[in-house]
């Protein structure tokens, strides 16, 4: 029986074949240090990195590829974004109760070290109410709005275009965590008034693990988080002003970025709309079938539209970790149980004590796999 992987929200698997080939090629054919030397192999590595920056800039509505900075994952990119803001004591930030710990913890750290205050609003409301919630929280010390585009617990999609309009109207820095949406939903930084955008390369964009991206708008001056060698401006004592070097010290993950470039090319070839539609079909089917089973409680939006391919649920009378273990060991189905690094979201829903089971679908999952999962859940339910 082939293994079914339903943990795409954590990291996509499998990757397109071309991603693996690109990684291998980088390691075996030109694995030099990009931007560190003028020899042919370093130039070739640098060309691949530059092409990846260019494609990412195009994909996310950013004019200047030099504003695209590479990190190990979304967490590092978000830390650079949040800890890099030039806060003063008393400044205020608005975020949401949907945030992953990769947003919440850096924010709480800045609260402790710099004396800012944070409002976590509950974004799971209609557009008009959401507008009011933001408007009510904004005060003269509010400096930034930091939100995730999509919840990794409930699959809820936030109207970032609308939130961007609010940020623009109040001259606030708008930072978006697109960890669950990059490579699935269209994002245009310019049209959506996004100042800083962070996302992983290893989820929807189909790149290898060890890749994350931060796009920093021209007008945003973040304080670098990491200082060190940049391969240029070596005579300067301080970190260069020039981007991307300002935010990228140390050797880059060339094989990973080469794989990410292949992932982006594959996403562009297939098209975001097709990817979203495929994932929506699986989600809709799974939601309908889960709803037929008594004792299954689905968290978040129960409608099939305007949500990501992420479904979290509990099973009455069954410990979620035990159920996840049975799914893995007996049925060969990989799901995720627990709090999914988002305790605020679980507190909001009332599942912070027990957690939930999360299934998440991707490009290569099929209806047949969802059906096998449903049959497994039914069988587990009948045993308890
Ligand atoms: C919404 C959200 N933000 C941030 C992250 C962190 O991503 P990474 O593991 O690439 O650091 C995740 C990962 O699951 C996520 O779902």
Per-residue pLDDT tens over the stretch 246-276: 999 999 999 999 999 999 999 999 999 999 9
Q: Is the pLDDT of residue 346 over 80?
A: no
Question: What integer pLDDT is reported at residue 350 of this predicted model?
Answer: 77
| R_g (Cα) of the chain, nearest Å | 21
C-alpha of residue 106 to centroid of ligand 1, in Å: 13
The percentage of residues in the chain with a pLDDT greater than 90, rounded to a whole number, is 85
Q: Is the pLDDT of residue 227 over 90?
A: yes
Residue appearing with tokens 């004396």: 115
Decide: 209 in ligand 1 pocket, CB within 6 A. Answer: no
Q: What is the pLDDT of residue 129?
A: 80
pLDDT of 125 > 80? The answer is no
Residue 10 near ligand 1, beta carbon < 6 Å: yes
DSSP E strand stretches across the chain: 4-5, 68-71, 92-96, 117-121, 142-148, 173-177, 196-200, 212-216, 296-298, 310-315, 333-334, 336-338, 356-360
Query: Does 96 sit in the ligand 1 pocket, CB within 6 Å?
Result: no
Per residue in 351-363, pLDDT (tens digit) is: 777 789 999 999 9
pTM for the whole structure: 0.96
Q: What's the mean pLDDT in 193-222?
A: 98
Mean of pLDDT over the chain: 94
Mutation pick for ligand 1 pocket among 9, 72, 99, 102 (CB with most ligand atoms within 8 Å): 102
Secondary structure, 3-state, the chain:
CCCEECECCCCCCCCCHHHHHHHHHHHHHCCCCCCCCCCHHHHHHHHHHHHHHHHHHHHCCCCCHHHEEEECCHHHHHHHHHHCCCCCCCCEEEEECCCCHHHHHHHHHHHHHHCCEEEEECCCCCHHHHHHHHHHHCCCCEEEEEEECECCCCCEECCHHHHHHHHHHCCCEEEEECCCCCCCCCCCCCCCCCCEEEEECCCCCCCCCCCEEEEECCCCCCCCCCCCCCCCCCCCCCCCCCCCHHHCCCCCCHHHHHHHHHHHHHHHHHCHHHHHHHHHHHHHHHHHHHHCCCCEEECCCCCCCCECCEEEEEECCCCHHHHHHHHHHCCCEECEEECCCCHHHHHHHCCCCCCEEEEECCCCCCHHHHHHHHHHHHHHHHHC
pLDDT of residue 302: 66
Percent residues over pLDDT 70 in the chain: 98
Identify which of 310, 341, 343 to mutate to test ligand 1's pocket (most ligand atoms within 8 A of the CB).
Answer: 341
Read off the pLDDT of each residue in 285-290 and give the average, rounded to a whole number: 96
pLDDT at 95: 97
In this prediction, residue 35 carries a pLDDT of: 79
Distance from the alpha carbon of residue 179 to the mean position of ligand 1, in angstroms: 5
pLDDT of residue 248: 96
Residue of the nearest CA to atom 8 in ligand 1? Answer: 74
Q: Which tops the pLDDT comparison, 98 or 364?
A: 364
Q: What is the pLDDT of residues 145-203, one digit of tens each?
A: 999 999 999 999 999 999 999 999 999 999 999 999 999 999 999 999 999 999 999 99
Q: Does residue 8's CB lie within 6 angstroms of at least one atom of ligand 1?
A: no
State the pLDDT confidence band at 303, using cuts at 50, 70 and 90.
low
- Report residue 349's pLDDT band, with 50, 70 and 90 as the boundaries: confident
Please give the Cα distance from 199 to 340 (Å, whole number): 17
- 22-34, pLDDT tens digit by residue? 999 999 999 899 9
Report whether residue 100 contacts ligand 1, using a CB cutoff of 6 Å. yes
pLDDT digits (tens, 9 = 90+) for 73-90: 999 999 999 999 999 999
Q: Is the pLDDT of residue 104 over 80?
A: yes
Tell me, using a 6 A CB cutoff, whether residue 342 lines ligand 1. Answer: no
Q: Tell me the domains of the chain and their CATH numbers.
A: 17-269 (3.40.640.10), 272-383 (3.90.1150.10)
Query: Which pLDDT belongs to residue 126?
Result: 65
CA dist 183 → 190, 331, 382 (Å) = 17, 29, 38
Ligand 1 centre from 101 Cα, in Å? 8
Token digits of residue 29: 């054919």
119 Cα: distance to centroid of ligand 1 (angstroms): 21
Q: Using a 6 Å cutoff on CB, does residue 200 contact ligand 1? A: yes
**Is the CB of 75 inside a 6 Å radius of any atom of ligand 1?**
yes
- CB count, 10 Å around CB of 66? 18
d(CA 362, CA 8): 6
Residue 59 has pLDDT above 90, yes or no: yes
């Amino acid at each position: 029986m082939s293994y079914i992987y339903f943990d795409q929200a954590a990291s996509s698997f499998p990757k397109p074949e071309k991603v693996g080939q690109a990684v291998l090629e980088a390691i075996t054919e030109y694995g030099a240090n990009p931007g560190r030397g003028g020899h042919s192999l370093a130039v070739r590595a640098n060309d691949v990195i530059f092409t990846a920056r260019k494609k990412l800039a195009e994909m996310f509505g950013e004019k200047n590829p030099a504003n695209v900075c590479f990190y190990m994952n979304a967490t590092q990119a978000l830390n650079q974004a949040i800890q890099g803001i030039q806060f003063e004591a008393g400044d205020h930030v608005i975020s949401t109760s949907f945030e992953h710990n990769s947003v919440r913890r850096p924010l709480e750290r800045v609260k402790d070290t710099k004396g800012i205050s944070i409002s976590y609003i509950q974004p799971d409301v209609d557009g008009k109410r959401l507008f009011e919630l933001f408007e009510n929280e904004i005060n003269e010390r509010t400096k930034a709005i930091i939100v995730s585009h999509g919840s990794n617990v409930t699959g809820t999609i936030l109207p970032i275009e609308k939130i961007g309009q609010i940020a623009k109207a109040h001259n606030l820095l708008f930072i978006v965590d697109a960890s669950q949406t990059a490579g699935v939903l269209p994002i245009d930084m310019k049209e959506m008034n996004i100042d800083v955008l962070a996302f992983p390369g290893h989820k929807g964009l189909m790149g290898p693990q060890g890749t994350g991206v931060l796009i920093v708008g021209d007008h945003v001056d973040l304080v670098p988080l990491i200082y060190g060698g940049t391969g240029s401006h070596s005579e300067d004592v301080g970190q260069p002003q020039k981007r991307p070097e300002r935010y990228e010290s140390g050797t880059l993950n060339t094989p990973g970025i080469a794989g990410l470039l292949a992932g982006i090319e594959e996403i562009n070839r297939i098209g975001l709309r097709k990817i979203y539609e495929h994932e929506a079909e699986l989600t809709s089917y799974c939601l309908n079938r889960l709803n037929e089973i008594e004792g299954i409680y689905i968290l978040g939006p129960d409608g099939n539209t305007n949500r990501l391919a992420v479904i979290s649920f509990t099973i009455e009378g069954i410990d979620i970790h035990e159920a996840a273990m049975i799914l893995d060991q007996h049925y060969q189905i990989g799901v995720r149980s627990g709090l999914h690094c988002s305790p605020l979201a679980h507190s909001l829903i009332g599942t912070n004590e027990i957690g939930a089971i999360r299934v998440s679908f991707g490009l290569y999952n099929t209806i047949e796999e969802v059906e096998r999962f449903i049959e497994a859940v039914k069988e587990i339910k009948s045993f308890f």
